[in-house]
């Protein structure tokens, strides 16, 4: 099953391979007591002892005595009379049992066990009751996720931020602008050859309404997929009129039809770019006002960034005055390495407030999720990666609350 079910529930409590020892996430912190031995013995463990204590235990149903251990020193019962413990058990059996509180799925005091804490973290990520909705922007925020360096987490961030925003009350459209179609895969959306895709919007000017597909298991999230046809689009675009603004026209047309107040109003459009600065990326930069740059916490992370920033400046100067780098997200952060810290420090000192406080840890769960056509947020909602993406999405939402493009 996909989506809001808790596919990760069976896995909680296990060690995640490659877990970062010093990462102080709730789930991980909560796992530690389990390894320290039986600090907290579950109440049911007392049942056999209690049954043996009761003289008439043989004719009574065996049940756990809820009394604390001190209560077991009660005076001995008269011969033949049932012990106070047995009397209480019999009374309890006659009385209607109190029903469990139908309130939150995981009671707050459930967090004192590793499984309880992981389940509580998963509930916070999945937000099943809508109790933790993020603020939504006054106008649609259109965000390009770009970095011409390959494999830095553009697609992973697009998919997971979109999923996190959608789970926390926003309506999100993801546009897959990469011929690899990874964002479509990650959201579980069909994108084999022949499926109507963003190629049709760019080349034939097909309206996006004819191309969007719902992301399974994520109400509020839709995706315009990319197929392999898009690989040829960059060459085909060279000869078309207004080749840099084809995507802008498509998005503007879609948002005009889904204007504020309409049931189809969109809070965020996220565009996942290919690893190049070609015409597809230029189309994205012209179509959006915000750029989100994922930066991998690795040695070569900053190389090539200058070129991307130069392109952003050029597009702003000539084609799209509203364009600016609004967000930088540190990805694949591995706290075990000094290098990750150094890269993070350098990026933060250079870009200041643009860098989100939340960074995304390197985690096997994050890389496994696309194999199941899911975001990590739905695949393993209690995992460090899912929690980090929800934290990052919250920051993005809070920074842009009330602001338009």
State yes or no: residue 276 binds ligand ATP (CB under 6 A). Answer: no
From 8, 225, 275, 381, residue interacting with ligand ATP (rule: CB under 6 A): 275
Q: Nearest approach, Cβ of 178 to Mg ion (angstroms)?
A: 5
Sign for the CA dihedral angle at 352, 354, 359, 360 comes to negative
State yes or no: residue 360 binds ligand ATP (CB under 6 A). Answer: yes
State the binding string over 160-199 for Mg ion (x if CB under 5 A, else -). Answer: ----------------------x-----------------
205: left (phi over 0), alpha (psi -120 to 50) or beta: left
Q: DSSP strand E in 85-171: where?
A: 141-145
State yes or no: residue 385 binds ligand ATP (CB under 6 A). Answer: yes
d(CA 293, CA 308): 9
State yes or no: residue 292 binds ligand ATP (CB under 6 A). Answer: no
Q: Nearest approach, Cβ of 31 to ligand ATP (angstroms)?
A: 19
Q: How many other CB atoms are there within 10 angstroms of residue 102's CB atom?
A: 6
213-214, strands of its sheet edge to edge: 213-214, 221-224, 172-176, 268-272, 141-145, 290-296, 324-331
State yes or no: residue 155 binds Mg ion (CB under 5 A). Answer: yes
The site partner of 151 among ligand ATP, Mg ion, none (C-beta below 5 to 8 Å per kind) is ligand ATP
- For residue 48 the two structure tokens come to 């056999």
- For residue 258 the two structure tokens come to 């889904």
- For residue 205 the two structure tokens come to 């000017």
Q: Nearest approach, Cβ of 142 to ligand ATP (angstroms)?
A: 19
From 154, 168, 191, 394, residue interacting with ligand ATP (rule: CB under 6 A): 154
State yes or no: residue 277 binds ligand ATP (CB under 6 A). Answer: no
- 3-class secondary-structure state, position 244: helix
d(CA 79, CA 6): 54
CA 261-268-260 angle, 5° bins? 10
Q: Nearest approach, Cβ of 155 to Mg ion (angstroms)?
A: 3
State yes or no: residue 326 binds ligand ATP (CB under 6 A). Answer: no
Residue ranges binding ligand ATP (CB under 6 A): 150-156, 178, 180, 182, 275, 331-332, 360, 362-363, 366-367, 385
Provide the binding-site residues for Mg ion, judged by CB under 5 A. Answer: 154-155, 182
């Amino acid at each position: 099953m996909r989506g809001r079910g808790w596919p990760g529930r069976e896995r909680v409590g296990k060690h995640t391979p490659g877990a970062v020892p010093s990462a102080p996430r709730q789930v991980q912190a909560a796992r530690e007591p389990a390894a320290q031995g039986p600090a907290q013995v579950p109440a049911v463990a007392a049942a056999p002892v209690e049954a043996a204590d009761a003289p008439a235990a043989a004719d009574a149903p065996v049940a756990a005595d809820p009394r604390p251990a001190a209560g077991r020193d009660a005076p001995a019962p008269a011969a033949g009379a049932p012990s106070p413990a047995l009397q209480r058990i019999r009374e309890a059996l006659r009385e209607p049992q109190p029903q469990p509180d139908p309130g939150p799925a995981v009671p707050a005091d459930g967090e004192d066990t590793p499984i309880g804490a992981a389940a509580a973290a998963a509930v916070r990520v999945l937000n099943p009751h809508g109790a933790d909705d993020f603020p939504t922007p006054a106008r649609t925020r259109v965000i390009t996720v770009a970095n011409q360096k390959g494999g830095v987490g553009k697609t992973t961030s697009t998919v997971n931020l979109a999923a996190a925003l959608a789970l926390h009350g926003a309506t999100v459209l993801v546009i897959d602008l990469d011929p690899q179609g990874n964002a479509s895969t990650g959201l579980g959306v069909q994108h084999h050859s022949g499926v109507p895709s963003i190629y049709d919007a760019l080349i034939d000017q097909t309206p996006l309404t004819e191309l969007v597909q719902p992301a399974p298991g994520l109400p509020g999230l839709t995706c315009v997929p990319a197929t392999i046809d898009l690989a040829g689009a960059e060459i085909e675009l060279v000869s078309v009129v207004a080749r840099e603004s084809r995507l802008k026209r498509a998005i503007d047309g879609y948002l005009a039809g889904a204007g504020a107040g309409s049931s189809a109003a969109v809070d965020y459009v996220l565009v996942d770019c290919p690893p190049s600065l070609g015409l597809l990326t230029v189309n994205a930069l012209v179509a959006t006002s915000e750029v989100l740059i994922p930066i991998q916490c690795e040695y070569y992370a900053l190389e090539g960034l200058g070129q991307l920033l130069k392109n952003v400046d050029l597009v702003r100067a000539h084609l799209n005055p509203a364009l600016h780098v609004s967000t930088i997200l540190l990805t694949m952060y591995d706290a075990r390495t000094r290098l990750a810290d150094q890269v993070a420090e350098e990026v933060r000192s250079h870009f200041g407030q643009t860098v989100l406080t939340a960074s995304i840890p390197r985690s096997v769960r994050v890389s496994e999720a696309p194999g199941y056509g899911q975001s990590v947020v739905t695949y393993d909602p209690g995992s460090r990666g899912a929690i980090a993406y929800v934290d990052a999405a919250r920051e993005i939402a809070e920074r842009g609350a009330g602001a338009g493009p």
